Amino acid sequence: MSKSGGYVVRLSPDRKDAFEHNPYDTFGEPVQEFSHSRNVPLACFVIDSSNKLTDIALGKRGTRAGTDMRRLNLHDIYTLKSPVDIDDIEKRVPNKLKKKVSEKIAFGGLLPPKSFESFLNIVSSLAPDSSRILSRFSEARYRRIQNLSSQVRATLAEQKEAVATALTIAGIGRDEIYGWDVNDKGTTTSFLDGLEQVRLREDPMVVNDLNSLPGYEAIRHTSHALVVFENTQSKLTVVLANRLPLEKQLGVDLIYYNETFSCFLMVQYKAMEEEGGQAVYRFPNQQLSDEIDRMRLVLSELRKVGPNAEADGFRLSENPFFLKICPRLVFDPDNIGLVKGMYLPLDYWDLLSEHPTTVGPKGGKRLSYNNVRRYFDNTEFVTIASGGWVGTTIAQSKHLESAIRSTLKSGRAVVFAVNIQTDRRHRRNR
């Protein structure tokens, strides 16, 4: 699990004035070059020229801002109810960490891990209103997550990947899933349960909208959580449905519905294992065979639907099924990046799985980056998915309920994501 970081931001009087009167949701500050993954949370502590800690924000390493300079983008800015005197912080820092912390307070910069943990705990105690925000970066949270069973974490990893993929296709920032934590009751039934900053919803208007969507009837009476993510261009409703506890689920299917083009896509995740220094997916196995048969059964029903006759129903491929072959997912809620992998359309999988290059020296079959010459990576898949270029036609989309029911019956969870574009340029006239 990636460890969060902490950064002290020193603002001159002029920059503090610009910060306080900034009309935008983010504020960019040029700082000395530093290294930190853009996919891992960064807590930023804003100190003014009077040596007061006034604000806390999430930060992201941005573009270059000159020689040996880097833009630090601050967002989700929280102003403390009462500024904290830096002297009060410094005198509480343990002696073995005091030199490093004092240096960062004086000049700004990235706090070393142990210094960050100490700084965070001190600020939380001196500014109690900040504790709810800073708790997502704490060592206690880290331990809560690590105490989850390996099977629960494996299932949560797939659910997180599916939700993050849906957000990316919809054009909504994955920052929405920062700060995941075990819920207050200590019981977690799905990845959505741990997103405190995103309100779980059973809003009658939201549910009413879903009732009119093809396939939702199969989910409505199944145990599920529902969340709405939104920006100025898109509204993404995510329903995570399952019939079994986390530790007994057999995997996750992402079912993504592009409402603008009435198009369904379905993604199933398959884990590669490390062998001889490379990632390999071995097959066949009974679970894979059963799931492929299930896809083909649904596909045979979809192909009974008449040919598409609408411009918005045009698809480069009308087969909605994809496998994502990727290294085994590890549950790391502090890394919001998409795992690298190979998206393979089902029709392509049928050809690859019978190709001689997949046969090993002992007769077994395996896929790796060495013998799959073409595949969609994350960026390419998001492009074709977001534009409705592949998936079910408008008429076929009315028949997807059976696919959702069969997924739930198989013991897998369903991440059912519905994207409605609020940007009117691409919306269909009904």
pLDDT digits (tens, 9 = 90+) for 164-199: 999 999 999 998 887 788 876 667 788 998 886 555
Strand 52-64 versus strand 42-47 pairing type:
antiparallel
| pLDDT number for residue 25 | 84
> Measuring CA to CA, how many Å separate 318 from each of 47, 213, 300, 419?
55, 19, 12, 19
pLDDT for the residue 256: 95
- Mean pLDDT across the chain: 88
pLDDT for position 252: 87
Model confidence at 386, in pLDDT bands (50, 70, 90)? very high
How far, CA to CA in Å, does 157 sit from each of 54, 138, 199? Answer: 36, 20, 20
Task: Give pLDDT tens digits for 234-273.
Answer: 999 898 888 677 777 778 889 999 999 999 999 999 999 9
Flag whether pLDDT at 429 surpasses 70.
no
pLDDT at 204: 56
Strand partners, 61: 72
Q: What is the mean pLDDT of residues 414-422?
A: 87
Beta strand residue intervals within 248-392, DSSP E: 252-258, 263-275, 278-283, 321-327, 342-345, 365-368
Of 234-248, 376-390, 414-428, the one with minimum mean pLDDT is 414-428
3-state helix, strand, coil in the chain (%, to 5): 35, 30, 35
Per-residue pLDDT, averaged over 195-219, amounts to: 61
Q: Is the pLDDT of residue 427 over 90?
A: no
Each residue's pLDDT tens digit, 17-73: 999 999 888 999 999 999 998 888 899 999 999 999 999 999 999 999 999 999 999
Q: How many residues does the chain have?
A: 430
User: Mind listing the pLDDT tens digit for each residue in 275-316?
Assistant: 988 999 999 899 999 999 999 988 998 999 999 999 999 999
How confident is the model over 91-120, as pLDDT tens digits?
A: 999 999 999 999 999 999 999 999 999 999
Q: Which residues contact 155 (CB under 8 A, 6 or more apart)?
A: 246, 247, 249, 251, 252, 413
Angle at 336 between CA 331 and CA 338, to 5 degrees: 85
**In terms of DSSP H, where are the helices of 21-65?**
none
Tell me: pLDDT of 211 over 70.
Answer: no
Q: Is the pLDDT of residue 143 over 50?
A: yes
φ, ψ for residue 427, nearest 5 deg: -85, 145
At residue 430, does pLDDT exceed 50? no
With a cut of 80, say whether residue 380 has pLDDT above it: yes
More confident residue, 9 or 221: 9
User: Residues 255, 215: contact at Cβ < 8 Å?
Assistant: yes
Q: How far apart are CA 160 and CA 165, in angstroms?
A: 8
Tell me what pLDDT residue 250 has: 77
